[in-house]
Amino acid sequence: MSNSINSTDLIIQKSNPTSPQEIIILLNSNETSNFNKFIADLRNKDPKIKLIAIKGIINMMKTLEKERIRKELIPYITECIEDEDYECLIELAAAIPNMLNYIGGKQHIACLLKVLEGIVSSEEQTVRLEVFTSF
Helices (DSSP H) in the chain: which residue ranges?
7-15, 20-43, 47-55, 57-63, 66-68, 74-81, 86-103, 113-120, 125-134
**What global pTM score does this model have?**
0.72
**What pLDDT does residue 68 have?**
92
Region for residue 16 given its phi and psi (left: phi exceeds 0; alpha: psi -120 to 50; beta: otherwise): left
- In tens digits, the chain (135 residues) has pLDDT values of 444 444 433 333 444 545 555 444 444 556 678 888 999 999 998 999 999 999 999 999 998 999 999 999 999 999 888 767 889 999 999 999 999 999 999 999 999 999 999 898 888 889 888 888 887
* Domain 7-134 is found in CATH 1.10.1740.10: no
Determine the pLDDT at residue 74.
96
